[in-house]
Amino acid sequence: MRLNNKVALITGAASGIGAQIAQTFAREGAKIALADIDTAGTAVAQQIGPQAKFYPLDVSSESDWQFALAGIQDHYGRLDSLVNSAGIAIFKDIESTSFAEWRHVLNINLDGVFLGCKTALPLMKASGGGSIINISSISGIVGGHNLAAYNASKGGVRLLTKSIALHCARQAYNIRCNSVHPTFVDTPMVRQLIDASPDPNKLETAFKRQIPLGRLGTPEDIAELALYLASDESSFVTGAEFVIDGGVTAQ
C-alpha cells in the first residue's frame, strides 16, 4: 500500500493513461479524485469503488479548477498528489496549423497544467506537501516536423515543471514536481489515430519500428512510473524529467 491514506487528483482520468493511473493509485491505497471533461470518468470511479469520486473538469477553465479543488477539500480535506494527464494532439506542421488550433492545443496541454499546479498548491501546502506529476511527452524533448503546436505545448510543460520544482523547494513547501515523457502509448487517442489511417496495420508497424524495444507503450507502463513519483520512495526527486520511450531518444 505505497500510497496508503494519500489523496490524488488525476486529470484526463476518463480513459487511457489517466484512467490507468487512477486504478493503479487506488490499488496502492490512495483515495482518488478523477477529473475529466468526459463524464465517462464517472464509470471509471464506480469501477474503482467508494474511495474514488469523479469531478467534471475542463482543464483550460480556471473556474472549473477552483470548483474541483473546493470539492476535493470539502470531501477529502487534503491533497497529496496531482497528476496532470489531460492532453490532446494534432499532427500539423507550422504552415498548416491555424492560430485557433495552436491556441486550442496550448490551452489544454500547457495552460491546463499551469492552472492545475497553481490552483492545487494551496491545498497541497496545507496538507504538508506532496507530489506533482506532469505528463509531457518525448515531443517535449525532441521535435517533429508535423507537431508544431504539440511540441510547443509539451516543451512548455517540461520547463514549467522545473520552475515549479525550484519554487517549491526554495519556499520549503515539501512539494516535489516532475515530468514524465512517454513515446506512443496504446491509448484510445493513439488507437483512434491508427484506425483512422488508410492502412492501420502499416501505421502501427511504422510506430513500432521507431521504438527500439519494438512495441508501443502501455498505460500500465506509465502508471507504474507515476506511482513511484507519487510515493515516498521518490522523496529526493524533484525537477526531473523521466523519459519512458522504449529507447527512442537513445538513438
pLDDT tens sequence across 1-35: 999 999 999 999 999 999 999 999 999 999 999 99
Mean pLDDT over the full length of the chain = 97
Asked if pLDDT for residue 50 goes beyond 90, the answer is yes
Confidence of residue 152 (pLDDT cuts 50, 70, 90): very high
Count each helix (H run) and each strand (E run) in the chain, helices first: 9, 7
* More confident position, 119 or 191: 119
128 backbone φψ class: left, alpha, beta (φ>0; ψ -120 to 50): left
Tell me, yes or no, if 76 is annotated catalytic: no
Arithmetic mean of pLDDT, 219-244? 98
CATH topology of domain 7-182+218-243: Rossmann fold (3.40.50)
- Angstrom distance (rounded) from CA 229 to CA 242: 10
**Nearest one of 144, 129, 128 to 183, comparing CA atoms:** 144
Q: Report pLDDT for 93.
A: 98
Q: Report pLDDT for 193.
A: 83
Q: Report pLDDT for 200.
A: 92
Q: For 69-78, 131-140, 190-199, 220-229, which range has the lowest pLDDT when averaged over its residues?
A: 190-199
Q: Report pLDDT for 15.
A: 96
Secondary structure class of 135 (helix, strand, coil):
strand
- Is 38 buried (19+), middle (13-18) or exposed (0-12) by CB count in 10 A? middle
Q: Report pLDDT for 196.
A: 87
Q: Report pLDDT for 183.
A: 96
Confidence of residue 41 (pLDDT cuts 50, 70, 90): very high
The domain spans of the chain are 7-182+218-243, 186-216
Asked if pLDDT for residue 220 goes beyond 90, the answer is yes
Full-model pTM = 0.96
- Give the helix/strand (H/E) hosting 8: strand 7-11
Query: 76, 150, 173, 228: which one is catalytic?
Result: 150
Q: Report pLDDT for 192.
A: 86
